């Protein structure tokens, strides 16, 4: 089952209304990579393929390592920007 809302709705209606949709890592990666590519149109720094690949690697590693642990996932994702761009840029843009 992929990230198709229709499929999830049918399963909820016919099998179990408490079922929860969880995207797999391939769909998550594809969606994230597509978003990065779209952002590269307006942010010249992201035009660099090596940088986009490194960001993808860092984010996917964090997601996989912190599956089922939302607070750790949030903390891990918040550390990626300082890791990639330095703490000063992180403070300027996110504080």
| 29-88 pLDDT, tens digit each | 998 899 999 999 998 888 888 888 888 999 999 999 998 899 999 999 998 887 777 755
Backbone torsion region of residue 69, taken as left when φ is above 0, otherwise alpha when ψ lies between -120 and 50, otherwise beta: beta
| 3-16 pLDDT, tens digit each | 567 777 888 788 87
pLDDT at 1 over 90: no
The whole-angstrom separation of Cα 81 and Cα 78 is 6
Please tell me the pTM assigned to this model.
0.68
Give me the mean pLDDT over the 21-36 stretch: 84
C-alpha pair distances (Å), 37 with each of 7, 30, 66, 95: 27, 11, 25, 25
């Amino acid at each position: 089952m992929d990230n198709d809302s229709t499929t999830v709705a049918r399963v909820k209606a016919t099998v179990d209304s408490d079922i929860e949709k969880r995207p797999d890592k391939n769909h998550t990666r594809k969606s994230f990579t597509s978003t990065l590519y779209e952002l590269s149109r307006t942010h010249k720094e992201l035009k660099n393929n090596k940088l986009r690949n490194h960001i993808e690697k860092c984010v996917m590693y964090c997601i996989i390592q912190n599956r089922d642990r939302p607070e750790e996932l949030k903390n891990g994702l918040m550390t990626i920007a300082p890791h990639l761009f330095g703490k000063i840029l992180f403070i300027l843009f996110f504080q």
